[in-house]
Structure 1
């Protein structure tokens, strides 16, 4: 092996004017179409977040004021915390059966098997 040859290695970043913003797609597409409660077909999802169970119900296609009122009413009846994100209502705990009762009484429908 010859010792006289040097390696040409470039270490660093090349910064030029070609900056681009990276946009990641949303988890779910939010529809602008507004439906009345009897035309919704809701489903349940169960996730584990930081070791705790979270129940997701959706996808809701209602005006923001109606969803916040519905969420507030459900959180009060169930005695739990929750949030509304990307058309889905998130509730702390495993509340599928209780949620189904309250949402059916409000006039919502569910897909078969959910």
Structure 2
């Protein structure tokens, strides 16, 4: 193919004037009920993301403001990064042993095996 020539490719898309709404399930859950810390039953999970360990704690039933203030306080005490997504708090590193007493101090409860 020489320079300056355009390649005409037909992909097979059918373009018409009608629009349709895409129905995909929502990834994030909208939490309608908030609970006090004593009624939470949290569990820990460990995942590898891009070769690094991430500690997940959840599921929290808090308002967005309460959850962001709690994770900000925990990140400061632990000296690590993290985020709050879909009712779970994600912390960078393997922090289960350090995180458990900090959450117990905030009156959160855990499942028996965690």
TM-score normalized by the length of structure 1? 0.82
| Partner of residue 4, structure 1 | none
Structure 2 matches for 1:42-57, cutoff 5 A?
42-57=42-57
In structure 1, runs of 5+ residues without a counterpart are 1-9
* Partner residue in 2 for 1:106: 106
Q: Deviations over 1:9-33 (max 9, x none)?
A: x96122232533242442x634311
CA RMSD of aligned residues (A): 1.7
Give the alignment's TM-score, normalised by structure 2: 0.82
In the alignment, what sits opposite 2:76?
A: 76
Distance in 1, matches of 2:13 and 2:113, equals 54
Give the number of equivalent residue pairs: 104
Distance in 2, matches of 1:29 and 1:75, equals 24
Q: Between Structure 1 and Structure 2, whose CA radius of gyration is higher? A: 1
1:1-114 equivalent positions in 2, closer than 5 A? 12-16=12-16, 17-26=18-27, 29-114=29-114
In 1: Cα distance, 2:11 partner to 2:70 partner = 56
- Runs of 4+ residues deviating >3 angstroms: none
